[in-house]
């Protein structure tokens, strides 16, 4: 577990990388399953969810749309959140 300030630094660094490379991103980047970075992003959400489960669940649940199959990593994140926060 990282201390709160370290988590903030890492998340801000991730945001900076995305913002600085935004022109390189296209629609396929968001849709394709690229295991390494999507697993890392999922793990970040699960880790944050151990402290702020309601907010993370709220965000993940917005990815479930009627009649549309959710992305593989949305389902995996949802499952891992439930396992990591089970009592």
Model pLDDT, residue 76: 92
CA distance 7 to 48: 9
Model pLDDT, residue 81: 92
* Helix, strand, coil percentages, rounded to 5, for the chain: 70, 0, 30
Instruction: Check if the beta carbon of residue 58 is closer than 8 Å to that of residue 34.
Output: no
Model pLDDT, residue 80: 92
pLDDT, tens digit, 9 for 90 and up, residues 17-73? 878 887 887 776 666 667 788 888 899 899 999 889 999 999 889 888 899 888 888
Model pLDDT, residue 87: 62
């Amino acid at each position: 577990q990282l201390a709160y300030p370290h988590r903030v630094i890492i998340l801000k660094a991730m945001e900076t990388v995305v913002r600085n490379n935004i022109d390189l991103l296209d629609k396929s980047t968001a849709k394709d399953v690229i295991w390494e970075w999507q697993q890392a992003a999922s793990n970040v959400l699960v880790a944050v969810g151990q402290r702020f489960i309601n907010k993370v669940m709220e965000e993940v649940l917005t990815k479930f749309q009627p009649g549309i199959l959710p992305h593989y990593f949305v389902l995996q994140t949802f499952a891992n959140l439930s396992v990591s926060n089970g009592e």
